[in-house]
Amino acid sequence: MTLKNIFIATILLAAVGASWLLLKRPPADDSAGDQQSATGYYLRGAVIEGTDLDGSRLYTLTAGTIRQQPVGNSVTLQDVDLEFAGGDEQPWRLTADNGSIPAAGDLIELFGNVQLEETLFIGPEKTIVRTPELAVDLRAKLATTDAEVRIERGNYLLEAVGLRADLKDRKLSLQSKVHGNFLP
């Protein structure tokens, strides 16, 4: 065997060995790509306009972050500010630390320091409703909760458990354990 043949045989053996090592190696970890596809879309500082069936503005949703969960296609929200146009009057303003929108999209669930604000009566003072959680049905134009509720307007204070707010007709109904203070 000549020196040239030994050299060619060595190179061929090295190529076969390298191929075998490459094929035997476990696949590269692509968890970053999997994680990105597992979270769906992600938006920061987003503003979403929702419209009613006739095309008129129904709500404006602003959130610090919006993240789609591909399993179930629900959406999670952080730092939520929702302006809901219930009719021709001044819109309701709802804020919360967090929220979620199920896949159907007709309901926005707010939780964590939820505040609902509206000028319900004549005068400069706003009516502020505070609760830990609130579900807003966009099509029915209703906001409901079974949690504790605190309604403030100037020196007036009402506390209750449970609330049904008709956002279109501007009516608040307290469900139970209603207590109030009306100071001059």
CA angle 118, 120, 90 (to 5 degrees): 55
Which amino acid appears at position 132 of this protein?
Answer: P
Q: State the first-to-last Cα distance of the chain, in angstroms, to the nearest integer.
A: 112
Tell me the domain boundaries of the chain.
Answer: 31-182
Please tell me the predicted confidence (pLDDT) of residue 32.
46
pLDDT at 64: 94
CB-CB contact of 163 with 177 (8 Å): no
Q: Tell the CATH topology of 31-182.
A: lipopolysaccharide transport protein A fold (2.60.450)
DSSP H or E stretch at residue 1: none
pLDDT for 11: 67
pLDDT score of 157: 87
Q: How far apart are CA 153 and CA 6, in angstroms?
A: 95
Question: Is the C-alpha dihedral spanning 119, 149, 163, 102 positive or negative?
Answer: positive
Taking only the tens of pLDDT, the chain with its 184 residues reads: 576 666 566 666 666 665 656 566 555 554 444 444 556 788 899 888 888 788 888 888 899 998 888 888 888 899 999 888 755 567 788 999 999 988 877 889 999 999 988 755 556 678 889 999 999 998 888 999 999 999 888 888 889 999 998 888 888 888 898 888 776 6
- Report field, pTM of the whole predicted structure over 0.75: no
CB neighbours (10 Å) of residue 75?
22
CA atoms of 133 and 108, how far apart (whole Å): 11
**Separation between Cα atoms, residue 69 and residue 76, nearest integer Å:** 8
Closest CA to 39 of 82, 73, 8: 73
Q: State the Cα–Cα distance between residues 69 and 36, nearest whole angstrom.
A: 11
